[in-house]
Amino acid sequence: MEAVPSSISVVSDRQGERVVVWGPGSLSNLGPGFDALGLCIQGLGDRVEAWRTETPGVTLVEANGLPGSSIPCDSTTNTAAVAAAAVLRQVGARHGVALRLHKGLPSGSGLGSSAASAVAGAWAANLLLDEPLPREALVEAVLEGEAVASGSRHGDNVLPALFGGLVLVSASDPTCYRRIPLPGPLSIALILPRVEILTRTAREILPRQVTLQDAVHNASALAFLIDAFRAGDWETVGRWMMADRIVEPVRARLVPCYEPVRRAALSAGAFGCALTGSGPAMFALARDEMHARQVLSAMREACLQSGVDVEGYVTAVDFEGARQL
Ligand SMILES: Nc1ncnc2c1ncn2[C@@H]1O[C@H](COP(=O)(O)OP(=O)(O)OP(=O)(O)O)[C@@H](O)[C@H]1O
Ligand SMILES: N[C@@H](CCO)C(=O)O
C-alpha cells in the first residue's frame, strides 16, 4: 500500500460518531474528610450519550431520567455540558459535541449527582476528540463542571468519579490530589432517605469558625482514617469515619432519621456509619455483601420507623471511574 505523503493533511471524518459514557456516583467526606475525601461506588450513576457535531461548542439536547427533578437543561448551567465545553476549549477543538443526559442519581442526595454528570460529560467529549487526553488532564474540566452546581470548586465527588477508587484532594486547591490504593474490596450499605438537602444550603449552615481543639481532632482523625484505608483495616476505618466533630454534627440535624439509622447500623455489626456529602444519604461499612444486606435492612427499618420514606442499596467500591459503555 502506498504511504500518504506527509504534506497532505488527513481529515478525520468522525462527524456524527457517537459514544455512551457512565459517570459513577460517589460517597464524599467519609466523616472527617470534609471536601477532601471521596470514594467511587458501583451501580449508581448518570449516563451521557454524545456525538460529534460540525457546529463548535456543546448542545445539551435533553436531560431526562428523573421525572419532576429540577436539573437545568441548559448548556451554561448543566454540569455535563459545562465540563464537556471545558474539554473542547482546553484543546481548541474546531468541532462541537451534542449531549443527551440520562440522570440516574437524584440531586441533593449526597451521592455526587452533579459530579457524575460532569464527569460523564467530560469523558464523552474527551473520547470524541481526535486525540483523547489522559484522565489526569480532565481534572480542571470536571472541577469547572461541578462548580456551576455547588458554587465551589470542591473535588471530593468529581475526582473519585473520574478516577475510581478512593481519592484524597486538597480542600483549598482541588487540582492537588492523590489516589489512595485500597488493598481489597469493601461492602457498603447505603440508604437514601426521602429528604432533599441542597449542598448549597448544607454548606451555608456550617460554622465559619471552629475551635482549635476540634480542628486538631479532625486533622488527626483524617490521618488515622487514610492510614486505615490503606491498610484495609475496616474496623479502624469505621471508627474514624464516625469521628467528625465539625461538619457532620451540624448537618445531622437536617436528617430526621440520622441517630436511629446510625444506632441500627452499628447494632447490626457495621464497622461505622456516616452521612455522605451533605446528605441525606447515609452509608455503613460491612464485612461482606451478605452482611451489608443485613445492615441495610436494619438501616431501612430505622428510617421508616422515624417516619421517613427510604430507598436502599448494597454497593461496593468502583475502581474504574468514568467509562465508555
Ligand atoms: N447534571 C446535573 N445533575 C445534577 N444537578 C445538576 C446538574 N446540573 C446542574 N445541576 C444543579 O446542581 C444542583 C445540584 O444540587 P446538589 O449540589 O445539592 O446535589 P448534588 O450535586 O447531587 O450533590 P451531592 O449529591 O453531592 O449532595 C441543583 O441545583 C441542580 O439543578
Ligand atoms: N464535600 C461536599 C460534598 C457535597 O455533597 C460537602 O460536604 O458539602
Q: Verify that 222 and 309 share a domain, yes or no.
A: yes
Q: Does residue 5 sit within a domain?
A: no
The confidence score (pLDDT) of residue 153 equals 84
Q: Verify that 176 and 198 share a domain, yes or no.
A: no
Q: What is the mean pLDDT of residues 240-264?
A: 97
Q: Verify that 225 and 309 share a domain, yes or no.
A: yes
Instruction: Inform me whether the pLDDT recorded for 3 exceeds 70.
Output: no
Instruction: State whether residue 266 is helix, strand or coil.
Output: helix
We report the CATH number of the domain holding residue 55 as 3.30.230.10
Q: Cβ(283)–Cβ(296) under 8 Å?
A: no
What separation in Å is there between the alpha carbon of 106 and the centre of ligand 1?
Answer: 8
Lowest pLDDT segment from 73-77, 123-127, 233-237: 73-77
Looking at 121, 153, 181, which one is the last position of a domain?
A: 181
Question: Would you name the residues annotated as active-site residues?
Answer: 146, 199
Task: Confirm whether residue 152 is marked as ligand binding.
Answer: no
Which ligand is located closest to the Cα atom of residue 145?
A: 1
pLDDT over 90 percentage in the chain: 85
pLDDT single digits (tens) 132-184: 999 999 999 999 999 998 877 889 999 999 999 999 999 999 999 999 999 99
Q: Does residue 86 sit within a domain?
A: yes
Which ligand is located closest to the Cα atom of residue 107?
A: 1
Mean pLDDT estimate for the chain: 93
155 lines ligand 1 (CB under 6 A): no
The confidence score (pLDDT) of residue 13 equals 62
Task: Confirm whether residue 110 is marked as ligand binding.
Answer: yes
- The grid cell for 10 is 488527513
What separation in Å is there between the alpha carbon of 143 and the centre of ligand 2?
Answer: 13
276 lines ligand 1 (CB under 6 A): no
ipTM of the complex: 0.95
Ligand 2: lining residues by beta carbon, under 6 Å: 28-29, 34-35, 110, 154, 156-157, 199, 202-203, 277-278
Our count of domains for the chain comes to 2
What separation in Å is there between the alpha carbon of 115 and the centre of ligand 2?
Answer: 11
Of 1 and 181, the structure prediction assigns the larger pLDDT to 181
- The grid cell for 266 is 452499628
Give the domain range for residue 153: 18-181
pLDDT single digits (tens) 72-108: 889 999 999 999 999 999 999 999 999 999 999 998 8
Q: How far is CA 314 from CA 89, 220, 266, 295, in A?
A: 39, 30, 16, 9
pLDDT single digits (tens) 265-299: 999 999 999 999 999 999 999 999 999 999 999 99
Taking each continuous run of H as one helix and of E as one strand, the counts in the chain are 10, 11
* DSSP of 191-239: EEES----HHHHHHTS-S---HHHHHHHHHHHHHHHHHHHHT-HHHHHH
Which ligand is located closest to the Cα atom of residue 23?
A: 1
What separation in Å is there between the alpha carbon of 134 and the centre of ligand 1?
Answer: 26
- The grid cell for 294 is 443485613
Instruction: Inform me whether the pLDDT recorded for 9 exceeds 70.
Output: no
As a three-state string, the secondary structure of 225-290 is HHHHHHHCCHHHHHHHHCCCCCCHHHHHHHCCCHHHHHHHHHHCCCCEEEECCCCCCEEEEECCHH
The confidence score (pLDDT) of residue 199 equals 82
Q: Does residue 12 sit within a domain?
A: no
Q: Whose CA is nearest to atom 30 of ligand 1?
A: 71
Give the dihedral sign, CA 32/26/58/136.
positive
Q: What is the mean pLDDT of residues 27-34?
A: 98
Written as one letter, the residue type at 295 is V
Of 152, 154, 168, 198, best ligand 2 pocket probe by most atoms within 8 Å of the beta carbon: 154
